[in-house]
Amino acid sequence: MSSRHRRRVRAGTALLALSAGIGALAVPGPARADTPPGSHRTVAYHGYRIEVPADWRVVDLAGNPRACLRFDRPAVYLGEPAGQNDCPARVVGRTAGIVVEPITARSAGRAAAATARAARGKATAPSAASSDGTLQIAVEDAGVLVTAAHTPDTEGLVRGVLASARLTADAERTGLPPAEQRSGAAPLTAAGPQPGIYLGKGFDACAAPSRAAMNAWRARSPYSAVGVYISGSFRGCAQPNLTASWVTDQTADGWRLIPIDVGRQAPCTSYSLRMSTDPATARSQGVTAAAGAVSAASSLGIPPGSAIYSDIEAYTSTTSCKAAVLSYLSGWTERLRSSGYLSGFYSSAASGIRDAAGEYDNSAYTRVDHIFYAWWNGAADTGTGPYAPSAHWSDHQRIHQYAGEVTESYGGYSITIDRDQLDVGAGTAPQPGCTRVDLDFTAYPTVRSGSTGDLVTAAQCLLEAAGYHPGAPDGIYGPGTATAARNFQAAKGLTADGVVSARTWTALLSRGTTPTVQSGSAGEAVTRVQRSLTAALGRTVAIDGVYGSGTAQAVRDYQSSRGLGVDGIAGPATWGALQAGR
Q: Quick one: DSSP state of residue 255?
A: P
**How confident is the prediction along the chain (582 residues), in pLDDT tens digits per residue?**
333 333 333 334 334 443 333 222 222 222 233 344 558 899 999 999 999 999 999 999 999 988 999 999 999 999 988 877 788 887 878 899 999 999 998 888 788 778 899 999 999 999 999 988 899 999 999 999 999 999 989 999 999 999 999 999 999 999 988 765 554 444 567 778 899 888 899 999 999 999 999 999 999 999 999 999 999 989 989 898 998 889 999 999 989 999 999 999 999 999 999 999 999 999 999 999 999 999 999 989 998 889 999 999 999 999 999 999 999 999 999 899 888 899 999 999 999 999 999 999 888 899 999 999 999 999 999 999 999 999 999 888 999 999 999 999 999 999 999 999 999 985 444 444 565 678 899 999 999 999 999 999 999 989 877 767 788 788 999 999 999 899 889 988 999 999 999 999 999 999 877 788 899 887 778 889 999 999 999 999 999 888 999 999 999 999 999 999 999 999 999 999 999 999
Nearest to 404, CA basis, from 88, 84, 66: 88
What DSSP state is assigned to residue 276?
A: -
Question: Which residue stretches of 445-519 are H helix?
Answer: 454-465, 479-492, 502-510
Secondary structure in 3-state letters for 169-215: CCCCCCCCCCHHHHHCCCCCCCCCCCCCCEEEEEEECCCCCCHHHHH
> Which helix (H) or strand (E) is 308 found in, with range?
strand 307-311
- Residue 433 pLDDT: 53
User: For position 436, what pLDDT does the model report?
Assistant: 62
d(CA 451, CA 285): 38
**Among candidates 101, 92, 88, which has minimal Cα distance to 136?**
101
Q: Are 214 and 245 in contact (CB under 8 A)?
A: no
Is the full-model pTM beyond 0.85? no
CB atoms within 10 A of CB 41: 20
Alpha carbon 362 to its chain's center: 26
Task: Tell me if residue 409 falls in helix, strand or coil.
Answer: strand
Q: What distance in Å separates the CA atoms of residue 560 and residue 563, rounded to the nearest whole number?
A: 5
Cα 445-451-453 angle, rounded to 5 deg: 80
Cβ-proximal residues to 65 (8 Å cutoff; 6+ apart), any chain: 79, 82
CB neighbour class for 468 (10 Å; exposed up to 12, middle 13-18, buried from 19) = buried
Supply the DSSP symbol for 328.
H
**Euclidean distance between CA atoms 228 and 185, whole angstroms:** 25
pLDDT at 41: 92
User: Alpha helices of 122-183 — where are they, by DSSP H?
Assistant: 155-163, 179-183
- DSSP string computed for 81-113: PPSS----S--B---EEEEEEE--HHHHTT--T
Q: Specify the pLDDT at position 62.
A: 92
What pLDDT shows up at residue 520? 86
Rounded to whole angstroms, the Cα distance separating 570 from 502 reads: 19
Per-residue model confidence (pLDDT) at position 392: 93
Measured CA to CA in angstroms, residue 493 lies from 413, 503, 538 at distances of: 52, 11, 21
Strand partners, 203: 226, 419
